[in-house]
A and B are shown apart, each in its own frame.
Chain A
Amino acid sequence: MSTAVVSIGRFFRYGNFAIGIALTGLVGLTALVSFFWTPHSAILIDVAAKFRPMSAQHWFGTDHFGRDVFSMIMVGARNSIAVGVVAVSASVTFGTALGLLASARRGWIEELLMRMSDLAFAFPAVLTAIMITALWGPGAINAILAIAIFNVPVFARVTRGAANAIWAREYILAARAAGKGGLRITVEHVLPNILNVLIVQATIQFALAILAEAGLSYLGLGAQPPYPSWGRMLRDAQSYLFEVPEQAIYPGVAIAIAVLGLNLLGDGLRDAFDPRLVRKR
């Protein structure tokens, strides 16, 4: 029991980590609540009621179609999180598998996989995603695929680096001396020992995925209307930036909160998993 208490204590000693949890929790909770309740419909258009200012009825006012912005932000959170979760899960699965393979086999397989990921890294992540959605056509599913694909080399590389360090450990040699093959060692010895690294990286990539999704939606390549997304809200608001500037602030702040929260969470997790890192600072 003591070890758990100590790590939880260590978690909360770092304020940033607590802020990260709070912000991420806020976004997650908002998305969750939006399934059961929103103040108004997020898609119902009432042009007569457009550009209403903040009020008790419309907390964040209404947009150019008279939709309730607060409700749209809530449903948009759902969209961002869904895209992030699905895209990151997919890329963790494939990227980690490739990284583990590269690390277990070494030689030309490792060389090939890493050079391929170099190639992928040569393009900025969001640009890759834009390229892919532009090729396959806009839509939430294609946005998820695009984000997943540019994340695969990230996980492949992180996994390979961490796994190579584990493969050099003596207990791997001991496991081999006990007659275990490469696959068994990978699953039983390497993977459990690099999980912490993967969790931290997944959190950071989650933030990037949300940002990428917002970018794609902003360009009209993400979730399609009428389904609300933060990126598209931002673009719509841009047209009226001088008349109703606050309309751009709400989705912008929502994106910032989600990305900041996840980044702080990732940093905090890293510190918690590796106490040596904290002492160095």
Chain B
Amino acid sequence: MTLLAVEGLNVTLATDAGPVAVVHDVGFTLDRRETLGIVGESGCGKTMTALALMGLLPEAARTAGRILFDGEDLLAADEARLCSLRGDRLAMIFQEPTTALNPVHTVGHQVAEVLMLHRDMAETAALAEARRLLDMVGLPRAAERLAAYPHQLSGGQRQRVMIAMALACKPDILVADEPTTALDVTVQAQILDLIGELVRELGMALVLITHDLGVVGQVTDRVAVMYAGRVVESGPTEAIFAKRAHPYTQGLFKARPSHAGQGRAAGTAARLATIPGLVPDPRSPPPGCAFAPRCPHAIEICRRPPPLVAIGESHDALCHRVGEWT
């Protein structure tokens, strides 16, 4: 049995202007030691997908579909069951380490608390384990830092604390929502390496949410590219890096800044490619393919819902015109 199977996940937010669909028919599977990258622009539904996995969607959200975790449908589970799973078998790392730690508690306390909650550890034992965890995530002088408050640590150090909190109970699934976006580039690489290492070591499954294709290439086994709430292309990371089938994926790759300013060095002042237009308003999505209004290859047929086309082994794209241009 796969560890995590998401089938036909739909998330709709009830707003004053009526229901707004933010996630459409998202599906993927994930096994231990596997890493799935979910890529897309802001507002494409990747964070909502992550929150759905954790059962942390806002109250106004309605869901359809199934999220099978070890065969148990998380969408049907009640809050008490979810509380016992969260932090224990499901864990999450957030984007902003500056705001994701409580300013009034010491970091040692915050890490130890998870252990006291799920492992019934006594406080001294939990603090000792917290020290070991902070050591493991590479927080320098972990023993002293147990008594530090979040504001006394740097952003990277705080993210390490967040990781220690998330890993405290050795979860089966770790959801990382843009874990490195708020960090310096040098620290980003360290944190990514750390997460990758820990995933392998502890045998977890990782869902890595990001808008950074570099991060995806570095860490993930498989990628799901999301646009306007739909997975428009998914497949093994190498396959997608080798052959981008969906025009949106191609646009994302083109819009990636190149390293070491290759263009500038030659004096050509290369400008970063962009995808023209804006993400469609989820309240009034375009008919058919959501990307059609911005797509350089869009034709009349794109006004109808696109089919899922197989590109290669477990590599699919949601597009009418895959392979019709090069």
Where the two chains meet, the residues of A that have a C-beta atom closer than 8 Å to any C-beta of B are 106-107, 169-171, 173-181, 184, 188-189, 192-193
CB distance from A181 to the nearest CB of B (A): 5
Chain B hits for A193, CB < 8 A: 102-104
Q: Is the interface of A mostly helix, strand, loop or mixed?
A: helix
Q: Residues of B contacting A179 with CB < 8 Å?
A: 83-88, 114, 117-118
Contacts of A107 in B (CB 8 A): 59
Residues of B with C-beta under 8 A to A180: 83, 87, 113, 117
Check if B77 is an interface residue, CB within 8 A of chain A: no
Q: Which of A106, A171, A188 contacts B100 (CB 8 A)?
A: A171
Pick the most buried of A174, A177, A179: most chain B CB atoms within 10 A of its CB. A177
Q: How far is the CB of B323 from chain A (nearest CB, A)?
A: 41
Q: Can you name the residue of chain A whose Cβ is closest to the Cβ of B150?
A: A171
Q: How far is the CB of A169 from chain B (nearest CB, A)?
A: 6
**At the interface, yes or no: B297 with Cβ under 8 Å from chain A?**
no
Closest 10 CB pairs of A and B: A179-B87, A178-B87, A179-B86, A177-B92, A170-B99, A174-B100, A192-B104, A171-B102, A170-B100, A178-B114
- Checking A169, A178, A181 against B99 with a beta-carbon cut-off of 8 angstroms, the contacting residue is A169
Contact B87 A173 (CB under 8 A): no
Nearest-CB distance from A152 to chain B (Å)? Answer: 26
Residue of A nearest to B51 (CB): A173
For the complex, give the distance between the alpha carbons of A174 and B54 in Å: 11
Binding site for A on B (CB under 8 A): 54, 56, 59, 79-80, 83-88, 90-92, 94, 96, 99-105, 113-114, 117-118, 162, 165-166
* Chain B neighbourhood of A189, CB < 8 A: 102
Q: How far is the CB of A31 from chain B (nearest CB, A)?
A: 33
Residues of B within 8 A of A171 (CB): 99-103
A-B contact pairs, 6 of them (CB 8 A): A170-B94, A177-B54, A177-B56, A177-B87, A177-B166, A178-B166
Q: State in angstroms the CA–CA spacing of A57 and B268 once bound together.
A: 97
Closest A residue by C-beta to B59? A106
A72 CB to nearest chain B CB (Å): 45
Q: In the complex, what distance in Å separates the CA atom of A174 from the CA atom of B51?
A: 11
Which residues of chain A have C-beta atoms less than 8 A from B96's C-beta?
A: 170
Other A-B pairs, 7, CB within 8 Å; known A178-B113, A178-B165, A179-B86: A170-B99, A174-B165, A176-B86, A177-B54, A178-B91, A179-B85, A188-B105
Q: Shortest beta-carbon distance, B182 to chain A, in Å?
A: 11
| B84 x A176 contact (CB < 8 A) | no
**In whole angstroms, how far apart are the Cα atoms of A170 and B113 in the complex?**
17
Contacts of B99 in A (CB 8 A): 169-171
For the complex, give the distance between the alpha carbons of A173 and B162 in Å: 12
Residues of chain B within 8 A of A169, CB atoms compared:
99
B94 x A173 contact (CB < 8 A): yes
Alpha-carbon distance between A193 and B114 when the two chains are bound, in angstroms: 19
- Report the separation of the CA atoms of residues A72 and B198 in the bound assembly, to the nearest whole angstrom: 73
CA gap between A189 and B150 in the complex, in Å: 14
* A175 and B102 in contact, given A106-B59, A170-B94, A180-B117 (Cβ under 8 angstroms): yes
Inter-chain contact A174/B92, CB cutoff 8 Å: yes
A188→B110 CA distance, assembly (Å): 10
Closest chain B residue to A172, Cβ basis = B102
Q: Please, which residue of chain B has its CB at the minimum distance from the CB of A192?
A: B104
